[in-house]
Amino acid sequence: MASATSNRTLEDMIVVEPGVEPGASAETMLVTTESSFEEFEHEVSNNLDKAKLSNETASSAVSHNIEIQQDQIPRESSEAKASFTDLDKSTSVEGSDMYELSQQFEQNNLDVDPLRNKVWLAQKKHIFVLSQAGKPIYSRYSSEDKLVTVMGVMQALVSFVQANNDMIRSVHADDTNFVFIVRGPLILVCVSKTLESVPQLVLQLSYVYNQILSVLTQSQLTRVYEQRRNFDLRRLLTGSERLIDHLLNFMDKEPAFFLGAVKCLPLLPSMRDAITQTIVQTCGKIKNLVFAILLANNQLITLVRMKKFYIHPADLHLILNLVDSSESFKTAESWTPICLPKFDSNGFMHGHVSYLAEDCQACLLLLTVDRDVFFTLSEAKQKIVEKLRRTNCLEAINESMNKTSITTTEIGLPEMRHVLYKCKSTAQFWSPGFQVPYNTDEQVQRLLGCYQCLHHRLHSPSRPLKLIFQQLDQETMLAWVTSGFELYVTFEPLVTKTDAINSITKLLKWIKKEEERLFILNSPTF
């Protein structure tokens, strides 16, 4: 790993030509924030406000995690911790396969305690949601009803620390992180054996909370628990568990979440403009239409907004999750209420959701505050499809959707294996396709984990960095943040600094040349 001195030397060697920052634009339809750091800071300040700490106590809580040693944990909590940490190392199953095995176990062993299930215990990251009264609401890999005792311990830990005018944020035991956030009447807990940092896990828990709000709204959630503290929230979330399940799997494999950005479907600028103008001309006179969003392959094709209104990437991520997890949208037009927590956490929008056509699987969402315009929006959608078909835009969308993502080797950078590039001013990012050696799910997960570690070091609340050059056993990695962009690059393990610098220069020039195809550089409005 390079020292700070060599980092400064390397930074001096990298020269970015004025105006070369790819994807930069004065116009944007997205709220541009550093999501992970923003959520982390919000959680810290929110917890401190609720605990009503003194200035001295608040200063201590901001600067240090609450470290609870094993001998300080009550007996029940110690047993629960041991169940998470003393895993059978021979059990190694990942992702969706692990989830399916866990579900199969549930079906065949209805009376077996999950804490005695090796498959369940071997999961690298558990997510739990419970009420402040200790009522189970959600567990990622098992029925909440079987985890009442474990969730009771979690609630007891939160209450115990609150009783001393403080808020528990994280517990570290061996290679396991226990991360807590308290949002309104809910407690959310992550038990993780991954390399993700506390701010990154806080961000993921915040997404889970926002996913719940997208179904209920903040005001309804608050009102329910004000009226009945022991209310079983699962009654209102029935059927929505799949959204949370899918969201968690989505976050494990998608860098958009920790980057706080969205990826655009590559299109010729003329085609993207034609699609956008078709939507503007067709929907421009429909009252109370706030957003028109066209998506494909979890990527943004275009977004048209009402003037003065913007959408946060976190809300767009929830929309992507809704579309990607709902097969029913492919068979019929849907009229779906959805709360966008960053836009308005206390109210629903109404979404006309439909795929363009059987021969073009791009999804169009028309979001409005008017609950009585389904047929108006349905008619508008049909007009949009007819115009897009006449101008060959559907064909262009299909071609881009079906085309294999370009790799860094095809760009002419053989020493560069992969890259993440984020433009700050537009909250959009670009990445090439994965190539050898990242041609398996396991290797892709490992690579994304390396990116997350670099991202945390660049944005560390206590000691943020600008540039990292890190030589590992299997690859050499570089992470660089400037005023205009963030860059994460993976090289061959023996690449020299000079070759790395030359590659980055070529890469930035290539992205700049292709920026109108890779990014949305304007912000169209109705």
pLDDT per residue as tens digits for the range 204-218: 999 999 999 999 999
**What percent of the chain stands above pLDDT 90?**
69
What pLDDT shows up at residue 128?
A: 96
What pLDDT shows up at residue 8?
A: 52
Per-residue pLDDT tens digits for 191-241: 999 989 999 999 999 999 999 999 999 999 999 999 999 999 999 999 899
Angle (nearest 5°) at CA 206 between 488 and 222:
165
What pLDDT shows up at residue 38?
A: 56
Does 56 or 455 have the greater pLDDT score? 455
Say if residue 112's pLDDT is above 60: yes
What band does 116 get if pLDDT is binned at 50, 70 and 90?
confident
Instruction: Read off the pTM.
Output: 0.84
The residue length of the chain stands at 526
Q: What is the mean pLDDT of residues 73-87?
A: 34
Per-residue pLDDT tens digits for 359-415: 999 999 999 999 999 999 999 999 999 999 999 999 999 999 999 999 999 999 999
What pLDDT shows up at residue 163?
A: 87
Max mean pLDDT among 66-70, 111-115, 325-329, 347-351 falls in 347-351
Say if residue 11's pLDDT is above 80: no
What band does 91 get if pLDDT is binned at 50, 70 and 90?
very low
The H or E element that residue 301 is part of is strand 299-305
**Pairwise CA distance, residues 490 & 420, whole Å:** 9
What pLDDT shows up at residue 36?
A: 54
**Pairwise CA distance, residues 112 & 106, whole Å:** 8
**Pairwise CA distance, residues 143 & 114, whole Å:** 9
Sheet holding 476-481, edge to edge: 262-263, 428-430, 416-423, 485-491, 476-481, 467-471
Collapsing DSSP to helix, strand or coil, 62 comes out as: helix
What band does 61 get if pLDDT is binned at 50, 70 and 90?
very low
What band does 79 get if pLDDT is binned at 50, 70 and 90?
very low
What pLDDT shows up at residue 42?
A: 56
- Mean pLDDT over each residue of the chain, to the nearest integer: 85
**Pairwise CA distance, residues 129 & 208, whole Å:** 9
What pLDDT shows up at residue 110?
A: 44
Which is nearest to 177 in space by CA: 212, 205, 140, 206? Answer: 205
